[in-house]
Amino acid sequence: MDIIQILKQDYQRFPVDQTYGIYAEDVYFQDPLNRFHGVERYQKMIAFITKWFIAPKMDLHDIRQAGKTITTHWTLSWNAPVPWKPRITIPGWSELHLNQDNLIVSHIDYWNCSRLDVLKQLLS
């Protein structure tokens, strides 16, 4: 199965049963809140989402590959674990870079909103 199909399936199942074998062992991950190396650390971040976010969902809007770069556009949403359980929504995109073995060596997420916008959703 090619990496685009694997990623589409991972987005549909997110955050459950992700395919970590498509990442290089020392993958670089970055989003507006985190920056680290290593697939093991990435797995821990996904486990955190699974444990603390209520009804997390990742809607994939577009996925394209140009050479060794894959770009995805998505919306991440979940209910916050606070008494009023607001639905938090973050639209964004990811740039994934592949090595010569077609493993993801860099996964950088960008948000189409600010961290303050996310905080405002929590307080509404």
Segment 56-105, tens digit of pLDDT: 999 999 999 999 999 999 999 999 999 999 999 999 999 999 999 999 99
Average pLDDT rounded to a whole number, residues 2-29: 97
Residue percentage of the chain with pLDDT more than 70:
100
Average pLDDT of the chain is 96
| Residue-range domain boundaries for the chain | 3-123
Specify the CATH number of the domain 3-123: 3.10.450.50
Distance CA(54)–CA(79), nearest Å, equals 5
pTM across the whole model = 0.93
**Cα–Cα distance list, 120 to 2, 31, 65 (Å):** 39, 19, 34
